[in-house]
Amino acid sequence: MWREAIAEHNQSLSRTIAVISLKGGVGKTTTAVGLGTALAVRHTEHVIAVDANHFGTLASRMPQQAELDAADLAAAGGRVQGWAGLRRFLASNPQRLHALAGGGGAEAYEAAAAMVADHTDTVVTDCRTDLDDTVTKAVLERATQCLIVLEPSADGLAAAQATLSHLAGAHPALAHTCVFVICQRSRRAPQLRQAEKAFAAQAHPVVAIPYDRHLDQGGVIVRDKLRRATRDAYDRLANIITSL
């Protein structure tokens, strides 16, 4: 019974999860959507994904679109009243994941993120690839947990290790929470096991997301169109996040 009580307590905690990578095109945005959706399936409260990229595609991966973005939300400020007021700024999917499109600089992000945090206990943020960017720094200051996304290659492994080293120096508490997500972008990934072993040896959880044609096609992500193995991987990632 105590195990169930701990699991329930962990799921009730406020979480701001930063999804980061030094390289673009490795599956960072799809990971944010996949994890956010898996968390939304199990949560009774709202789960909101925030795009910290000025021209990011996070919100466009949602079936139900919104025309407004983080800069618009920041500009609206106190005129946004309650969930109904916030909701018009958010894209969404049938699993009740909501997404705020990126826009504006660090000041706009801070204002928008504060308003989002008032309406949810779970935020997943799709970060920029530049860890020294002012918006990325603002995201990491707010974050309670971190996902480092990589592709199963020598370059991907090196970039992920560099990201962890950067966090260990600048945000040591956050570095301790890191989960590594290895996105298989093709059917063959000969270095997948090497990447898994490298970070597992450092006592960090590792989740491999298998190749999935639906993700590879780009555009709107529909959970029911994902392979069962892909859905299971995102669910496993959500389990890890809520147990840390």
Which CATH architecture best describes the domain 13-243?
3-Layer(aba) Sandwich (3.40)
Is residue 3 predicted with pLDDT exceeding 50? no
Q: For the chain, what is the mean pLDDT? A: 91
Domain spans of the chain, in order of start: 13-243
pLDDT band, residue 190 (cuts 50/70/90): low
pLDDT at residue 2, rounded to an integer = 32
Q: What is the pLDDT of residue 61?
A: 97
For the stretch 99-141, pLDDT in tens is: 999 999 999 999 999 999 999 989 999 999 999 999 999 999 9
Residues 240, 180: Cα–Cα separation, whole Å:
11
- Average pLDDT over every residue of 72-83: 93
Please name the residues in contact with 32: beta carbons below 8 A apart, sequence gap of 6 or more: 19, 49, 58, 124, 125, 126
DSSP conformation class of 23:
S
